[in-house]
Amino acid sequence: SGKEKWPRGDEKTWKENMRALETDVPGISRNIVNHVQTSLARQAYNLDDLGAYQAAALSVRDNLILNWNDTQLQYTRKEPKRAYYLSLEFLMGRALDNALLNLDLKKQYSESTDKLGFNMEDLLEQERDAALGNGGLGRLAACYLDSSASMELPVWGYGLRYKYGIFQQLISPEGQQLEAPDPWLENQNPWELPRLDVQYDVRFYGSADRLNDGTPRAVWSGGQEVVAQAYDVMIPGCFTKSTNNLRLWESKPKRGFDLNSFNAGDYERAVESSNSASAITSVLYPNDHTTFGKELRLKQQYFWTAASLADMIRRFKNIGKPITQFPEYVAIQLNDTHPTMAIPELMRILVDEEDVPWDTAWQITTNTFFYTNHTVLPEALEKWPVPLMQHLLPRHLQIIYDINMYFLQAVEKKFPGDRERLARMSLIEEGFPQQIRMAFLACIGSRKVNGVAELHSELVKTTILKDFVEFEGAGKFSNVTNGITPRRWLDQCNPELSALISKSLNVPKQVWLKDLFMLKKLLPLAEDAAFRKEWAEIKQRNKERLAHHVRTTLGLEINTNAMFDVQIKRLHEYKRQSLNILGVIHRYLTLKDMSAEERKKVNPRVVFFAAKAAPGYWIAKLIIRLIVNVARILNADPETKDYLQLYFLPDYSVSLAEVLIPASDISQHISTAGTEASGTSNMKFCLNGGLLLGTVDGANIEIGEEVGESNVFFFGYLTPEVEQVRYNNIYHPRPVEEKSPALARVLSVVSQGMFGDGGIYEPFLNTIRQGDYYLIADDFDSYINALKMVDDAYLDKEEWIKKSIRTACTMGKFSSDRAIMEYAESYWNLEPVKIPA
Ligand code: T68
């Protein structure tokens, strides 16, 4: 009959006692109080905000688990093709508000906590960010999980459960960045479920012996074994039962300590070995865009890919299909090259453990993986020293050599005698030591390769992977422009704007939040004065909310009548916070030159920065120091402080972004053309009605196409020109005085000590005076001119609001729902799975 037999016990007893979702206020209150009493072992009279938050979170988690169970059961029954998003970073931020909004239970929970004597907004503030990522790459992974669940796609994320996320940033009185650990798990994490039954052993070191029995097989033995233990984080879809999984691995020593050392009587070594096992998932590496070749980092990468693949293969084997059908049931997206070791690892499993012939194994592998590239900056391309790989993963090195040998044979066949091409394309870069080029391995091991915005995908094809396009054909290379989830980046961070949109569209948010192109229907309202008034009032209240946040956290008073100008992102020379701060100084000097009367005509501006620098990136830290010290002078200058204020907000995070983004009038995305692969905060600002000031780079270009050139402010050299300018800066250098007298003046006041000891900034100033790799001097005048256009545009308030409305309402393309559907349809061949009620 197709009806499944009840597995054990009395079906009626089971069914009568199975819990349903708690969705009404009494049920929610019952569940919260139950968690206070039992899970927390506390009571009404000793409950603080933190406890109340935890109880509320646990009760929400109960609902998520029930949906999760139904979702996973349906996946098991339907056996759909699944996709796995492998990312070393998931920058999730806070979970409670997001879960309440996606479950559509926010109102009920607020009412319930009210009755229990707690304010929901205060409880939300108790949660620590889950900050398991550096920046854009990690946040993109989080947005994609939200969209996968919301689009009802069977997608799981796999990552690492770092004990310490991205460091907490402190700023010393001198303006120096200091790093403190981020012990985010200290107060227990109500959002994760330890899966003690899901564990895998992962081997390191040891030796690899080829069998030489006519097969390509080898035996890898000895070395160190570490246990990977699963923790599951539920990912709720928006207004759907679909609840996906983010599985994070924690490393643990096997059997608590190394038994071999223990037996040998070396107790200290045994303890040391167990230390080193748990060190693997201890901390997130805080470097974006540089590689260090650290053994522990490679250990993290292999540990995570090996555990994840073992888990996927176990799940695949449960459906009882031959291994050759693996790619029909599994697609794996590699988020940058960090998970590239999954390619030789899958080969090892297929060849050594499953006894699959090499060619078949390679076919399975190259039909399973998909690779996303996030940068073309040479210093960010991962390479691993051959001796390190030999030591840590000897069998994988053999496999990489074999892959390389067959690959180069094929290249030689297509381009006979082209030795230079072979050297360029080899997976092994010659040198001392030799290094493995991970981007090349990811490319040849994948079915498709994509960049993250149109321009970037073109650059991938014409620069770092040019030879591979010539060899494999352009069909393998394409583009998926990044997206952002409108749930967190509009509905959650800007509830008033979300409500205005629902009201004006006359549709519930349930509908338009999942079909963001609907915002276009609001375009005519840009001409409606009443609508513009509401729109502007919301922006103003968001500015006041930010000012309130800064007052309560930093004790600073912000002029909310000024234009809010925001640049928030990792601190990097290519992102050119330097251009911004030098522009601020230029503005300050200009104000100082003016008479008091003239100043009164100036459009007041508040400039915000927030940015973490990699701990070892000292030029970046110097730029932070300059910003902080310029802020100190500007904000204390009675002549100018009404017209120009500057703030560096420490410890940038997802939660801080949620307050900053809705408050911005203009935001800056001013990377040297051709360096920012996409950018995603540009999309977030625009979706919240902030205008964009930027270079013709990354996704700025596509944003410009959507909103129309009259609604954005572009400046600077274009990508095709940059190479020539750089060449000239080296071989035909011109002094800054000649390129931009305005900038020369700025550099000289810095150097002369207007912002404290000028000498300390010399190394930074010299990067501009000599070489100027990022074209600061070349773009400066064009930048100042763009800032002036922004000022002029802002003077016409009504026109500015129109631009703001037009900007937000043309952001449909940048929903991560669109992006994830492109991956599902054009890459993974995945279908949505409906979860029955
Ligand atoms: C960013 N990359 C891109 N990398 O810079 C940005 N790197 O343009 C793009 O929008 C975003 O990815 C999403 O595609 C990163 O954020 C890293 O964080 C990183 C971390 C470790 C190693 C290398």
Contacts of residue 638, Cβ cutoff 8 Å, sequence gap at least 6? none
Residue 550 CA neighbour count, 13 Å, CB half: 25
Write the residue with the smallest CA distance to atom 19 of ligand 1.
288
Domains of the chain: 79-94+129-383 (3.40.50.2000), 558-814 (3.40.50.2000)
Place of tokens 């403190």: 180
Strands 691-695 and 713-715: parallel
- For residue 430, give the amino acid letter: E
Using DSSP, state whether 95 is helix, strand or coil. coil
Protein residue with its CA nearest to atom 2 in ligand 1: 137
Backbone phi, psi, residue 508, to 5°: -65, 155
DSSP string, 619-678: HHHHHHHHHHHHHHHHHT-TTTTTTEEEEE-SS--HHHHHHHGGG-SEEEE-PPTT--S-
| Number of neighbouring beta carbons within 10 Å of residue 187 | 14
- Ligand 1 atom 20, closest CA: 288
Q: 375 C-alpha vs ligand 1 centroid, how far in Å?
A: 7
CB-based burial label for 631 (10 Å; 0-12, 13-18, 19+): buried
- Sheet with 330-335, side-by-side order of all strands: 192-204, 224-236, 243-253, 155-160, 82-86, 330-335, 369-372, 448-451, 477-479
Q: Which atom of ligand 1 is nearest to the CA of 676?
A: 8
Place of tokens 């999760």: 68
Count of Cβ atoms closer than 10 Å to residue 188 Cβ: 12
373: DSSP letter: -
* Number of continuous H segments (helices) and E segments (strands) in the chain: 36, 24
* Continuous segment of H or E residues that includes residue 295: helix 295-318
Ligand 1 atom with least separation from CA of 140: 13
Beta bridge partners of 180: 168
* DSSP conformational letter for 184: T
Burial of 363 (0-12, 13-18, 19+ CB in 10 A): middle
Distance 484 CA to ligand 1 centre (A): 14
φ, ψ for residue 82 (rounded to 5)? -115, 150
What three-state secondary structure class fits 284?
coil
Alpha-carbon distance values, 159 to 88, 133, 250, 302 (Å): 5, 10, 9, 11
Which two three-digit tokens encode residue 102? 């996606």
> What is the predicted pLDDT for the residue at 186?
94
Atom of ligand 1 at shortest range from CA of 287: 21
- List the chain residues with pLDDT less than 50: 1
Query: Is 152 within 8 Å of 271 (Cβ atoms)?
Result: no
State how far the Cα of 664 lies from the Cα of 568, in Å rounded to an integer.
Answer: 11
Give Cα 678 to chain centroid, integer Å. Answer: 12
Distance 137 CA to ligand 1 centre (A): 4
Positive or negative torsion for Cα 739, 745, 749, 755: negative
* Among 709, 699, 672, residue whose Cα is nearest residue 793: 709
Entry pTM: 0.97
**Distance between CA atoms of residues 730 and 283, nearest Å:** 40
User: Dihedral of the CA atoms 96, 102, 103, 108 (nearest 10)?
Assistant: 60
Q: Of ligand 1's atoms, which has the minimum distance to the CA of residue 139?
A: 13
Q: What is the residue with the minimal CA distance to atom 22 of ligand 1?
A: 288
Compute φ and ψ for 18, nearest 5 degrees: -75, 135
Atom of ligand 1 nearest to the CA of 677: 8
Pocket of ligand 1 (CB under 6 A): 134-137, 140, 288-289, 374-375, 380, 452, 482, 676-680, 698
In the chain, the N- to C-terminal Cα span, in Å, equals: 22
- Pocket probe for ligand 1: among 287, 374, 377, 701, the residue whose CB has the most ligand atoms within 8 Å is 374
> Phi and psi of 680, rounded to 5°?
-130, -25
**What's the CA-to-centroid distance between 678 and ligand 1, angstroms?**
9
Distance CA 89, CA 284 (A): 8
Sign of CA dihedral 202, 208, 209, 210: positive
Choice from 160, 289, 572, 703 to test ligand 1 binding pocket (greatest atom count within 8 A of CB): 289
Kindly report the protein residue whose alpha carbon is nearest to atom 7 of ligand 1. Answer: 288
Residue 143 Cα, ligand 1 centroid: separation in angstroms? 14
Residue 687: count of CB within 10 angstroms of its CB: 27
- Looking at residue 291, what is its pLDDT? 82
The Cα 199–Cα 311 span in angstroms is: 9
Q: Which atom of ligand 1 is nearest to the CA of 698?
A: 8
Out of 304, 335, 375, 450, give the residue to mutate to test ligand 1, the one with the largest number of ligand atoms within 8 Å of its CB: 375
Kindly give the distance from the C-alpha atom of residue 822 to the centroid of ligand 1, in angstroms, as a whole number.
Answer: 20
Q: State residue 257's pLDDT score.
A: 61
Report how far ligand 1's centroid is from the alpha carbon of 669 (Å).
Answer: 14
- Whether residue 141 contacts residue 85, with contact meaning beta carbons closer than 8 Å, is answered with yes
Closest by CA position to 591, among listed 553, 637, 622, 554: 637
Distance from residue 200's CA to the centre of ligand 1 (Å) = 30
Q: What is the C-alpha separation between 681 and 688, in angstroms, rounded?
A: 11
User: Alpha-carbon distance 421 to 413, whole Å?
Assistant: 12
CA–CA dist 380, 135 (Å, integer): 14
Confidence (pLDDT) at 1: 43
Nearest to 703 by CA among 803, 562, 821: 803
Cα distances (Å, whole numbers) of residue 751 to 178, 287, 532, 624, 766: 24, 29, 46, 16, 10
Atom of ligand 1 nearest to the CA of 372: 14
Question: Best mutation site among 288, 460, 685 for ligand 1, i.e. most ligand atoms within 8 A of its Cβ?
Answer: 288
What is the CA angle 135-339-452, rounded to 5? 50
Signed CA dihedral, 22, 24, 25, 26: sign only = negative
Cα–Cα distances in angstroms (integers) from residue 100 to residues 29, 48, 156, in the given order = 14, 21, 21
Residues contacting residue 55 through CB under 8 Å, at least 6 positions apart: 32, 33, 35, 36, 39, 40, 47
Question: H-type helices in 178-225, by residue range?
Answer: none
For residue 190, say if its preceding peptide bond is cis, omega within 30 degrees of 0: no
Neighbours of 700 (CB within 10 A): 27
Residue 609, beta-bridge partner list: 567, 648
N residues, the chain? 837
Query: 223: which DSSP letter?
Result: S
For residues 262, 265, 271 and 273, what is the CA-based torsion angle, rounded to 10 degrees?
-70
Tell me how far the alpha carbon of residue 381 lies from the centroid of ligand 1, in angstroms.
12
Q: Count Cβ atoms below 10 Å from residue 80 Cβ, excluding itself.
A: 15
Element (H, E) at 74: helix 49-78
Q: Radius of gyration over alpha carbons of the chain, in Å?
A: 28
Distance set, CA 224 to CA 324, 342, 412, 432, 621 (Å): 31, 19, 39, 28, 38
ipTM of the complex: 0.99
The atom number, within ligand 1, closest to the CA of 456 reads 8
- DSSP 8-state symbol, 67: H
Give the burial class of 761: count Cβ atoms within 10 A of its Cβ; 0-12 exposed, 13-18 middle, 19 or more buried: buried
Handedness of CA 307, 312, 315, 320 (dihedral sign): negative
Catalytic residues: 374, 569-570, 575, 680, 684
CA of 336 to the centre of ligand 1 (A): 8
Beta carbons within 8 Å of 45's beta carbon, 6+ residues apart: none
Amino acid in the structure at residue 647:
Y
